[in-house]
Structure 1
Amino acid sequence: MQTGKNAAASAKETAANVAASAKSGMEKAKASAQEKAEKMTAHDPVEKEMATEKEEAIKQQAELEKQEARMHNAANKQAERGGALGGGYATTGTEGVVESHPAGIDKGTGRTTAQNPRVEGTGPTYGTGGTYR
C-alpha cells in the first residue's frame, strides 16, 4: 500500500509542478506581449526602457513563484508519504523513529537482492530448480 501512496504523491507533485510551470509560462508570455505593446506606443527611449524593465521584473517574479510552488509541492509530497525519506535515513514521526531502506537491499550481505533472484522474500523464482530434463 505504501508504494501506491508514494506513486499517488509523486503523481500529484508532478501534476502540480506542470501546472506551476504552465502558469509561469503564461505570465512570462503575457509580460512579453505587454512589453511589445508598450514599446510600440512609447514615444521616447525612457518609456521603452521602462517597459523592458517591467517585463524583466514580471518574468523574474513568475520564475520565483514557480520555484516556490515546486518547493511547496515537494513538501506536500513528503507529508503525504508520511515523512519517509528513503535512502536509509532515519526520520521521526508521531510514533517514534522509523528507519527506512531502499527497496532490494539485503542488509546481511551488503548485496542487493537483484543480484540473486532466489533470495527469500523476493517473489517467485524462475530458475530450473534442478528438475529440468
Structure 2
Amino acid sequence: MQTGKNAAASVKETASNIAASAKSGMDKTKATVQEKVERVTAHNPMEKDMATQHKQEKMNQAEMNKQEAREHNAAAKHTNAAGGTTGHSVGLHHTPAIPGQVTGGGIGSHPIGTATATSGTTAPNTHLGGGNNTGYGTGGGYSRSGR
C-alpha cells in the first residue's frame, strides 16, 4: 500500500511540476510579446530600455514562481507519501502555493469550464478566458460559439 502512495505522490508531483513549467512558459512568452509592443510604441531609447527591463523582471518573477511551486510540490509529495495530511491537493485541483488559485477541498463533479452558483444554476468559468492575470486560464479568448 505504501508503494502505491509513493507512486501516486510522484505522479501528482510530476503533473504539478509540468503545469508550473507551462504556466511559467506562458508568462515568459506574454512578457516577451508585451515588450515588443512597448518597444514599438516607445518614443525614445529610454522607454525602449524600460520595456526590456520590465520584460526581464516579469521573466524572473515567472521563473521564481515556478521554482516555488516545484518546492511546494516536493514538500507535498513528501508529506502525502509519509502518510501525513492530504489537505493540499495538486494537479487540476487546488494548490495554494500557486497564486490565483483557491484553497480548500476537491472540485466535485462540476463540468470543466463551469461553476455552480448557490441557486444551482451553471455559469461560465471566467478564469478560462484571456486577460485574466491571476488564474490559470487557457491563455486565449474563450468563446462559447455553437451554443
Fold-level similarity (TM above 0.5): yes
The residue that corresponds to 1:65 in the other structure is: 65
Which residues of structure 1 form unaligned runs of 5+? 84-133
Letter aligned with residue 54 of structure 2: K
The residue that corresponds to 2:39 in the other structure is: 39
Task: Tell me how far 1:17 sits from its aligned partner.
Answer: 0.2
State the Cα deviation string for residues 5-46 of structure 1 (Å, max 9, x = none).
000000000000000000000000000000000000101000
Residue 9 of structure 2: SS of its match in structure 1?
helix
**Given the alignment of the two structures, is residue 17 of structure 1 paired with residue 21 of structure 2, yes or no?**
no
The residue that corresponds to 1:78 in the other structure is: 78
Task: Tell me how far 1:73 sits from its aligned partner.
Answer: 0.1
Aligned residues: 84
**Given the alignment of the two structures, is residue 26 of structure 1 paired with residue 26 of structure 2, yes or no?**
yes
The residue that corresponds to 1:121 in the other structure is: none
Scaled by the length of structure 2, what TM-score is found? 0.56
- 2-structure distance, mates of 1:22, 1:45: 33
- 1-structure distance, mates of 2:49, 2:40: 12
- 2-structure distance, mates of 1:5, 1:65: 27
The residue that corresponds to 2:53 in the other structure is: 53
The residue that corresponds to 1:130 in the other structure is: none
Correspondence 1:52-131 to 2 at 5 A: 52-82=52-82
How much is the aligned-residue C-alpha RMSD, in angstroms?
Answer: 1.3
- 2-structure distance, mates of 1:11, 1:62: 23
Structure with the larger strand share: 1
Task: Tell me how far 1:67 sits from its aligned partner.
Answer: 0.2
Scaled by the length of structure 1, what TM-score is found? 0.62
Whose radius of gyration is greater, 1 or 2?
A: 1
State the Cα deviation string for residues 58-94 of structure 1 (Å, max 9, x = none).
00000000000000000000000117xxxxxxxxxxx
Letter aligned with residue 36 of structure 1: K
Question: Quick one: percent identity of the two aligned structures?
Answer: 64
- 2-structure distance, mates of 1:13, 1:28: 22
Moved over 4 A (4+): none
